[in-house]
């Protein structure tokens, strides 16, 4: 790694001040599992690294039946994978966290970091969007909240301005008997990036279907959702929704799979995820 100045700010204000002062030349460090790789491979440069780990109040993982779930910026994938409340109420998120990298990586990598990295294939993004996550952004002009599904603008790109930090994700408490499923499709069982990822959150009140790795950002399959919303959900409506999801996906071909294969798998996995989610609502 090239030399950089290193700071461990003790407050959020100090961290935001540093990011603002260095403009785009400062990088925020939480887990570091993406940042350090990108610094080593010179995909990213930093005159200054701002380690967020000493900032109080951004490491909380808390659930409240009315307020829902709060995931602070320092919460690791491993904490999510093992959290009893997440396994029970946000099982698709727990599943996605479990499929991210290795245990060594998950002990460092943060969920908020996975969000800010904005990879189209990131495992945690489809379940978070299916769970209607909101992003809390802090910057020198104060705090703002962005729905996660509007947070991404392209591969590696988000609505964040230089000097802004994501401090928390908020997920509403699930409706009773919500079925939540995340299915990752890859070439091997572990240490893999998703070829296609599909998340479904299904309850009597609503259905959300989110596709990963088949567009420049994770996308909701809105037409597929419309085919199911307020209607009887059975094998034939699920089949129609799966076909709609295929048409909504816009995959590319790359080293992991061809676009044709990905489209095909969107259909298979959407059908499978909806079927499993339906079973889980019963």
Partner 1 sequence: MKISLTLNGEARELEVEPCRSLLDVLRNEAGLPGTKKGCDVGDCGACTVILDGKPVNSCLVLGVEAEGREVTTIEGIQPAPDRLHPLQEKFMQLGGAQCGFCTPGMIVMAKALLDENPSPTEEEIRFGIAGNICRCTGYTKIVEAIQAAAEEMGK
Among 13, 24, 40, 85, binds partner 1 (CB under 8 A): 40
Site string for partner 1, 186-205 (x = CB under 8 A): ---xxx--------------
The CA-CA-CA angle for residues 55, 59, 65, to 5°, reads 140
Q: Identify which of residues 23 and 104 has a Cβ nearer to partner 1 in the complex.
A: 104
Among 3, 66, 187, 282, binds partner 1 (CB under 8 A): 3
> 228 with 157: CB under 8 angstroms?
no
Residue 10 within binding range of partner 1, rule CB under 8 A: no
d(CA 204, CA 144): 31
Q: Are strands 61-64 and 26-29 parallel, antiparallel or unpaired?
A: unpaired
| Residue 85 CB, nearest approach to partner 1 (Å) | 20
Tell me the two tokens of residue 240.
């129609």
Residue 1 within binding range of partner 1, rule CB under 8 A: yes
- Which residue stretch of 32-40, 67-75, 84-92, 115-123 sits at the interface with partner 1 (rule: CB under 8 A)? 32-40
For the chain, the farthest-separated pair of C-alpha atoms sits apart, in whole angstroms, at 60
Q: Which residue has the tokens 């090239």?
A: 2
Residue 17 within binding range of partner 1, rule CB under 8 A: no
Q: Identify which of residues 49 and 219 has a Cβ nearer to partner 1 in the complex.
A: 49
Among 47, 51, 160, 237, binds partner 1 (CB under 8 A): 51
> Within positions 89 to 118, which residues make up the interface with partner 1, using CB under 8 A?
101-105, 107-108
Among 36, 146, 215, 259, binds partner 1 (CB under 8 A): 36
Q: How many CB atoms lie under 10 A from the CB of residue 230?
A: 9
d(CA 230, CA 247): 21
Residue 30 within binding range of partner 1, rule CB under 8 A: no
Residue 84 within binding range of partner 1, rule CB under 8 A: no
| Residue 265 CB, nearest approach to partner 1 (Å) | 22
| Residue 49 CB, nearest approach to partner 1 (Å) | 7
Nearest alpha-carbon partner for 247 in 233, 228, 267: 267
Residue 61 within binding range of partner 1, rule CB under 8 A: no
Q: Which residue has the tokens 């930093």?
A: 46
Dihedrals φ, ψ of 95, to 5°? -60, -45
The residues that touch partner 1, with contacts defined as CB under 8 A, are: 1-6, 29, 32-33, 36-37, 40-41, 49, 51, 53, 78, 101-105, 107-108, 189-191
């Amino acid at each position: 790694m090239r030399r950089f100045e290193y700071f461990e700010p003790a407050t959020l204000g100090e961290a935001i001040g540093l990011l603002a002062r260095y403009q785009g030349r400062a990088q925020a460090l939480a887990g570091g599992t993406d940042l350090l790789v990108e610094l080593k491979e010179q995909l990213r440069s930093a005159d200054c690294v701002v380690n967020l780990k000493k900032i109080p109040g951004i490491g909380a993982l808390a659930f409240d039946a009315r307020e829902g779930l709060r995931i602070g910026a320092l919460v690791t994938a491993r904490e999510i994978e093992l959290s009893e409340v997440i396994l029970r109420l946000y099982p698709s998120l727990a599943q996605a966290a479990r499929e991210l990298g290795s245990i060594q990586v998950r002990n460092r990598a943060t969920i908020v970091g996975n969000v800010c990295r904005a990879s189209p294939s990131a495992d945690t993004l489809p379940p978070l969007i299916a769970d209607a996550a909101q992003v809390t952004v802090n910057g020198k002009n104060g705090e703002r909240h962005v729905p996660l599904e509007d947070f991404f603008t392209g591969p590696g790109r988000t609505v964040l301005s230089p000097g802004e930090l994501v401090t928390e994700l908020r997920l509403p408490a699930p409706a009773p008997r919500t079925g939540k499923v995340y299915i990752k499709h890859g070439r091997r069982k572990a240490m893999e990036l998703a070829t296609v990822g599909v998340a479904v959150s299904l309850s009597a009140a609503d259905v959300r279907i989110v596709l990963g790795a088949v567009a420049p950002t994770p996308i909701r399959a809105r037409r597929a959702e419309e085919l199911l919303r307020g209607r009887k959900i059975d094998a034939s409506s699920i089949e129609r929704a799966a076909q709609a999801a295929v048409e909504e996906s816009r995959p590319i071909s790359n080293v992991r799979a061809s676009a044709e294969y990905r489209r095909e798998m969107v259909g298979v996995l959407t059908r499978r995820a909806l079927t499993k989610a339906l079973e889980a609502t019963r």
